[in-house]
Amino acid sequence: MDVTKEEIQALYKAHILPENKHPYHFEAKEGTSVSFDAYNPMCGDKFHLYLNVVNDVFDTVHFDGIGCAISKASTSMLLKKIEGMSKIDAKAICEKFINNLTNDHQVDEFNDELNTLIALKHFDGRIDCIKLAWEALLNYLLVKDLEG
Amino acid sequence: MDVTKEEIQALYKAHILPENKHPYHFEAKEGTSVSFDAYNPMCGDKFHLYLNVVNDVFDTVHFDGIGCAISKASTSMLLKKIEGMSKIDAKAICEKFINNLTNDHQVDEFNDELNTLIALKHFDGRIDCIKLAWEALLNYLLVKDLEG
Amino acid sequence: MLKNIKTYFPIFEKYPDLAYLDSAATTQRPKSVNEAINQFNSFENANIHRGVYDLSNSATKKFEQAREKVARYIGSSNPKTIAFTSGTTHSINIIAYSFLKSTLNKGDNIVITLLDHHANFIPWQMIAQEKGAELRVVPINKKGDLDITSLGKMLDEKTKILSLNHISNSLGTVNDIHEIIDLGHKKNIPVMIDAAQSVAYYDLDILTFNYDFLAFSGHKMFAPFGTGVLYVAEKWIKSITPYNYGGGIIKNVSAEETTFSDYPFNIEAGTPNISGVMGLSSAIDFINTFDKAEMRQHISDVTHYCIEQLSTINDVKIIGTPEKRSGIVSFVVKDIHPHDVASFLNQDNIAVRAGMHCTQPLLMYLETPATVRVSFSIYNDRQEVDRLKASLVALIKFWT
Amino acid sequence: MLKNIKTYFPIFEKYPDLAYLDSAATTQRPKSVNEAINQFNSFENANIHRGVYDLSNSATKKFEQAREKVARYIGSSNPKTIAFTSGTTHSINIIAYSFLKSTLNKGDNIVITLLDHHANFIPWQMIAQEKGAELRVVPINKKGDLDITSLGKMLDEKTKILSLNHISNSLGTVNDIHEIIDLGHKKNIPVMIDAAQSVAYYDLDILTFNYDFLAFSGHKMFAPFGTGVLYVAEKWIKSITPYNYGGGIIKNVSAEETTFSDYPFNIEAGTPNISGVMGLSSAIDFINTFDKAEMRQHISDVTHYCIEQLSTINDVKIIGTPEKRSGIVSFVVKDIHPHDVASFLNQDNIAVRAGMHCTQPLLMYLETPATVRVSFSIYNDRQEVDRLKASLVALIKFWT
Ligand SMILES: Cc1ncc(COP(=O)(O)O)c(C=O)c1O
Ligand SMILES: Cc1ncc(COP(=O)(O)O)c(C=O)c1O
């Protein structure tokens, strides 16, 4: 552990728990142009993302499903971030975010709540929770989207 | 090693090397009533036993093939032993011999050259060589013979 | 005997405050086992079988003596009923692929249970799908016990194997394998027991239980990773075909054809985990210094104390209340995901598992996406349960 | 660097007079590797993947770091090309069964060589037989080198894989895998390299060689038994199906259907040999402290001295005189069976192997029922060769 119990608790209290309790657009939205699962078979976390794309821009974004506070908060923050964003920009953000998480040193700063998530990467073993939805979106953008 | 180099060499010199050089009935004998391989796939030793059985007695016995000095000497001594012997007696002898080899303590004495072979069981790793033909014969008597 | 038991385990020397409550995932290793491995690697290392020099002979002998020891451990008088594998998963796959598959036909069925681990689920599912056979999954009742009546009904003349775990790694249910094996045998059905969770603490005497196949892992019985055992009853030995192909299982090879050794050697292709088996052998010696009934009594005491204490916390719900329970307790905390629970317990030096425990069909049935699982071994005590409780109470307070 | 090399290996502390000439069967283990294993077992032991507590996280991290280290060791920038297996045999079987078999058809062919070990012979033979495909065995010339012209002719549009060892464990032949892989690739044939005998001493840089699959064992590169590696080139990753079925390889399971993770995780069902992998990781560190060219130079010097010395003994015949030779020499002694030779050398504390070395087709072709094999590693020296020679001379004198 690189962070103290107190620091973790403070991060949870300030950012994760509120986001977990009041996640952004947490509802099923059938009929969107894009929809896919963010699923971690190791722990059972499974969210479903409903994204409506208009002119290559994420117009409206929703999600539902079950997961831990971190993965839920992270998915919620992801959606807030990409709403109104072009696919290309979203891809860049996902890549930057995952890069930040998986590199030992923080490569590039975010100037918003995403930094909380990055800080939690030192909360060992939870990186998979943090990046769950981000990887699923990136996978969609890199693979499924291209396949048509 | 429980035996000294000198003891091993003495046993080889006195019993194994002569038997290896002049094995008993070492020739192929086609057309015998019984014939089978004694084969160790680990080291490649392979002898073929040609046994002629008359009235449940091993009437004439021959072998050929390739193997180390110990397995060859042991096969030769086996054939000398069972020639003229009934199947039932041969089975008993094989069982007694193998039992002697595989038990930590010598269970029962032989009063002939077979004791040399038993002594060599302490020549570690060579037990398989000593018992090769004995096990093949026993297997024949226990399994193949009964199957018809 | 179990007094000062923690001192046998170096991990508690290094982390005196560690409450290791994850022995169902893997037990800790006693010093004697680690030393046996180190001793072999340092001073006795050689490959087996095909060497005639002292080190190789002695390694071969010890390897075969370990086979005898494992056989004795489960009451088998024939060491050739024992094959060394890399773990329970490997052992079960061998029975699925090298025993059952070739004789499984369309219309046949395989019976397993909802309590089973993926290792005893997916291999059967795969061969059933491939052969057009049916996979029958015995249901459980509300408490988390197998529905024995259903089990009895599922067994019929088309059932080619019944395979189930002795102890559920998710709910802790101890199945009455004695009765269940009898049910199978009455209909001439071979029965495989996955003993991963029971082999360290329960007597699995073959004469008592008469199972046809038994699988377990070293690492859940104080032995190293990468070791496992498959027991095959004498009457099935001739029915086992090779699994991996390679050296050491060969009678004869030519460019045209190959003939193979018999079980157990036909299963052990390639160089086995010789040093691991030395560790497994030492682990059996370690277990044998204890009385199994005393081990179970100790674990049961801690487990029931745990259930008692958890029951006093309002927001905690224990998942499964089986009639007979081993040292495993699964629970959920209201509004806090098991993953978060485990992370916060970790902050207090309490090691537990969160997730589906490789029993996804069971958790789907229970409509529980994941649980927190605590599991006890001989080195755990009531004091650790007190800490677990205190930590959970504090977490719930923090969360709300 | 190689001065005092014996002091790294505890076995020579215990047996200072041991001439261990059987490193092709298994190398000895350096102290640092044994300590890494012991350290993990004693103070870091936990199961991986599904735990969120510190010990489990740290074990998971180290396990994945070991994967990265193995990838780097062979020049792969993608750790997901690396799966941990139990050994070379297991790795090759995975490619035969989980890659090739499902696409192999009647009339196709598989090309291997007469120099190959049973581990790279029998799996292909089995699937060829099952599917009605042809197994083509590349012949050798009198020296024991592959007949490259024949190899080229055997490859055609029906060839589904070419698989061969880098170094023959029987004759010591070093195959020119660079040229051979190119031959395969020119006809779009995937090439598998069995690097069991070369991985410790030879550069196997993927960028240089461009093999499609690579297999090796830990125990022949100073690492513990029960560990192995399979490398799969990125372009084939999606073509690998699971091998064993069980926990840790699952995306989703229900009673009806199961979906699986991608390679390498779909190959690692069940609990892997975590402590073994820690040893493998440490063994790579050990190797990396040396210069591979220097290692080869040292081994080559001892080997050629050995050949020189053996050639002075009238009754000794060396089997195979390949163009390029590793540290392996096979020979026979007139009228004395290899088994007897090995036993008598053992009396003089010289450890060698006698037998067919799991290369029965090769020895049948050479009309040699068995050979004595000496094999050298970095800890051997010329003085041991002198002892070998003296012991052989004395034996021959004794025998006649
Ligand atoms: C060339 C070659 N291939 C394969 C193997 C098999 O390796 P393992 O027994 O570790 O699976 C060996 C070792 O005996 C070998 O020398
Ligand atoms: C009941 C049960 N079966 C099978 C397994 C699989 O064991 P392994 O991962 O050692 O192969 C486990 C362990 O997770 C288990 O608890």
Residue whose C-alpha is closest to residue D306's, from D370, D378, D383: D383
CB D162, CB D180: distance < 8 Å: yes
pLDDT at A42 over 80: no
Tokens of C379: 């080195």
Distances, alpha carbon C18 to alpha carbons A2, C308, C351, in Å:
18, 22, 7
Number of domains in chain D: 2
Chain-centroid distance, C-alpha B148: 23
Residue C170 lies in a domain: yes
Task: Tell me: do C245 and C364 sit in the same domain.
Answer: no
Nearest Cβ partner of A68 from C340, C347, C348? C340
Identify the CATH number of the domain in which residue C226 sits.
3.40.640.10
Percent of the residues in chain C that have a pLDDT greater than 90, as a whole number: 93
Average the pLDDT over D135-139 and give the result. Answer: 98
Quick one: pLDDT at residue B116?
Answer: 85
Tokens of D303: 């080997």
Task: Tell me: do C308 and C251 sit in the same domain.
Answer: no
Amino acid at B131: K
Confidence of residue B106 (pLDDT cuts 50, 70, 90): low
Residue C333 lies in a domain: yes
Task: Tell me: do D215 and D251 sit in the same domain.
Answer: yes
C337-369 pLDDT, tens per residue? 999 999 999 999 999 999 999 999 999 999 998
Average the pLDDT over C64-87 and give the result. Answer: 98
Q: How many other β-carbons are positioned within 10 Å of the β-carbon of residue C397?
A: 8
Residue C26 lies in a domain: no
Q: Which numbered atom of ligand 2 lies nearest the CA of C86?
A: 11
Contact B44 D369 (CB under 8 A): yes
The mean predicted confidence, pLDDT, of chain C is: 96
A44-83 pLDDT, tens per residue? 889 999 999 999 999 999 999 999 999 999 999 999 999 9
User: Over the Cα atoms of chain B, what is R_g?
Assistant: 15
Quick one: pLDDT at residue A112?
Answer: 80
Task: Tell me: do D371 and D256 sit in the same domain.
Answer: no
pLDDT at C102 over 50: yes
Chains in touch with C (≥3 Cβ pairs < 8 A): A, B, D
Quick one: pLDDT at residue B137?
Answer: 95
Task: Tell me: do C108 and C228 sit in the same domain.
Answer: yes
Identify the CATH number of the domain in which residue B62 sits.
3.90.1010.10
| Alpha helix stretches (DSSP H) within chain A | 5-11, 17-21, 69-82, 87-102, 114-119, 127-139, 145-147
D343-368 pLDDT, tens per residue? 999 999 999 999 999 999 999 999 99
Query: For the residues of D134-192, what is the DSSP string, one character each?
Result: EEEEE-B-TTS-B-HHHHHHH--TTEEEEEEESB-TTT-BB--HHHHHHHHHHTT--EE
Q: Which of C36, C358, C366, C370 is catalytic?
A: C358
pLDDT at D305 over 50: yes
Among C288, C308, C330, residue at a domain's last position? C288
**Whether C253 contacts chain D with CB within 8 A:** yes
Question: Is it true that the peptide bond before A23 is cis, omega within 30 degrees of 0?
Answer: no
CB B43, CB B68: distance < 8 Å: yes
Quick one: pLDDT at residue B105?
Answer: 66
Q: B112 or B65: which carries more pLDDT confidence? A: B65
Q: At a CB cut-off of 8 Å and minimum separation 6, what does D84 contact?
A: D66, D67, D227, D228, D229, D264, D268, D272, D273, D277
| Alpha helix stretches (DSSP H) within A17-86 | 17-21, 69-82
Quick one: pLDDT at residue A43?
Answer: 77
| Alpha helix stretches (DSSP H) within chain C | 10-14, 31-39, 54-73, 88-94, 122-131, 148-154, 177-186, 206-209, 274-288, 292-311, 338-347, 360-365, 382-399
Residue D223 lies in a domain: yes
Average the pLDDT over D306-334 and give the result. Answer: 97
Among C288, C315, C331, residue at a domain's last position? C288
Amino acid at D254: S
For residue B92, give the 3-state DSSP assignment. helix
Tell me the β-bridge partners of D375. Answer: D22, D328
Task: Tell me: do C281 and C295 sit in the same domain.
Answer: no
Site to substitute for ligand 2 among D271, D273, D274, D275, most atoms within 8 A of C-beta: D271
Quick one: pLDDT at residue A119?
Answer: 84
Q: Which residues of C touch B39 (CB under 8 A)?
A: 251-252
Q: For chain A, what's the residue count?
A: 148
Confidence of residue A109 (pLDDT cuts 50, 70, 90): confident
pLDDT at B147 over 70: no
Tokens of C214: 């038994």
CB A122, CB A103: distance < 8 Å: no
Contact B42 D363 (CB under 8 A): no
Strands B46-54 and C109-113 come out as: unpaired
Chain-centroid distance, C-alpha C304: 22
Quick one: pLDDT at residue A111?
Answer: 73
Task: Tell me: do C121 and C247 sit in the same domain.
Answer: yes
Q: Domain range spanning residue D230? A: 33-288
Across A41-55, C163-177, C267-281, D183-197, least confident range: A41-55
For residue A137, give the 3-state DSSP assignment. helix
Quick one: pLDDT at residue D52?
Answer: 84
Q: Which residues of C touch A125 (CB under 8 A)?
A: 343, 346
The rounded distance, in Å, linking the Cα atoms of C306 and C319 is 13
D140-151 pLDDT, tens per residue? 999 999 999 999
Backbone dihedral angles phi then psi of residue D56, each to the nearest 5 degrees: -70, -40
Residue whose C-alpha is closest to residue C202's, from C290, C120, C309: C290
Q: Domain range spanning residue A110? A: 5-147
CB C249, CB C269: distance < 8 Å: yes
Q: Which ligand is nearest to the CA of D86?
A: 1
Residue D26 lies in a domain: no
The rounded distance, in Å, linking the Cα atoms of A98 and A13 is 23
Task: Tell me: do D64 and D11 sit in the same domain.
Answer: no
Number of domains in chain A: 1
Tell me the β-bridge partners of C135. Answer: C110
Task: Tell me: do C58 and C141 sit in the same domain.
Answer: yes
Tokens of A119: 């800080």
Quick one: pLDDT at residue D112?
Answer: 98
Task: Tell me: do C199 and C325 sit in the same domain.
Answer: no
Contact B69 D336 (CB under 8 A): yes
Amino acid at D119: A
Across C355-364, D4-13, D302-311, least confident range: C355-364
Confidence of residue A1 (pLDDT cuts 50, 70, 90): very low
- Burial pattern C198-216, b for ≥16 Cβ within 10 A else e, equals bbbbbebebeebebbbbbb
Kind and range of the H or E run holding B42? none
Residue D28 lies in a domain: no
Dihedral of the alpha carbons of C49, C53, C55, C57, in degrees to the nearest 10: 40
Quick one: pLDDT at residue D256?
Answer: 74
pLDDT at A13 over 50: yes
Tokens 């045999």, located at residue: D89
A31 CB-contact burial (10 Å; exposed 0-12 / middle 13-18 / buried 19+): exposed
Quick one: pLDDT at residue B112?
Answer: 80
Confidence of residue C108 (pLDDT cuts 50, 70, 90): very high
DSSP D101: G
Percent of the residues in chain D that have a pLDDT greater than 90, as a whole number: 93
Please calculate the CA angle C167-C171-C176 and round it to the nearest 5 degrees.
Answer: 35
Quick one: pLDDT at residue A108?
Answer: 63
C222-266 pLDDT, tens per residue? 999 999 999 999 999 999 999 999 988 888 877 777 888 899 999
Tokens 């969609």, located at residue: A140
**E strands present in B13-145:** 34-39, 46-54, 57-66
CB D231, CB D264: distance < 8 Å: no
Q: At a CB cut-off of 8 Å and minimum separation 6, what does D193 contact?
A: D163, D164, D165, D166, D177, D181, D204, D209, D211, D213, D214, D215
Chains A and B touch (3+ CB pairs under 8 A): no
pLDDT at B146 over 70: no
Residue D11 lies in a domain: yes
**ipTM of model:** 0.94
Tokens 């026993």, located at residue: B138
Percent of the residues in chain C that have a pLDDT greater than 70, as a whole number: 100
**E strands present in C96-227:** 109-113, 134-138, 159-165, 191-194, 213-217
Backbone dihedral angles phi then psi of residue C5, each to the nearest 5 degrees: -60, -30
Tokens 């062979």, located at residue: D74
**Whether B43 contacts chain D with CB within 8 A:** yes
Q: Which residues of D touch C42 (CB under 8 A)?
A: 10-11, 14, 29, 31, 34
Confidence of residue C386 (pLDDT cuts 50, 70, 90): very high
Q: Which residues of D touch C278 (CB under 8 A)?
A: none
Q: Is the CB of C357 under 6 A from ligand 2?
A: no
Task: Tell me: do D102 and D191 sit in the same domain.
Answer: yes
Backbone dihedral angles phi then psi of residue C78, each to the nearest 5 degrees: -115, 105
Residue of B nearest to C60 (CA): B125
Residue C192 lies in a domain: yes
Among C288, C307, C329, residue at a domain's last position? C288
Q: How many other β-carbons are positioned within 10 Å of the β-carbon of residue C284?
A: 21
Confidence of residue B1 (pLDDT cuts 50, 70, 90): very low
Average the pLDDT over C125-141 and give the result. Answer: 97
The rounded distance, in Å, linking the Cα atoms of D396 and D400 is 6
Task: Tell me: do D120 and D256 sit in the same domain.
Answer: yes
For residue C91, give the 3-state DSSP assignment. helix
DSSP C267: G
Q: How far is the CA of C271 from the centre of ligand 1 (A)?
A: 7
Residue whose C-alpha is closest to residue C101's, from C220, C239, C193, C235: C239
Tokens of A114: 């995403």
Q: At a CB cut-off of 8 Å and minimum separation 6, what does B93 contact?
A: B81, B82, B85
pLDDT at A107 over 70: no
Which residues 257-296 of chain C have a CB within 8 Å of chain D? Answer: 258, 269-276
CB C94, CB C85: distance < 8 Å: yes
The mean predicted confidence, pLDDT, of chain A is: 88
Question: How many pairs of residues across A and C have Cβ atoms under 8 Å apart?
Answer: 50
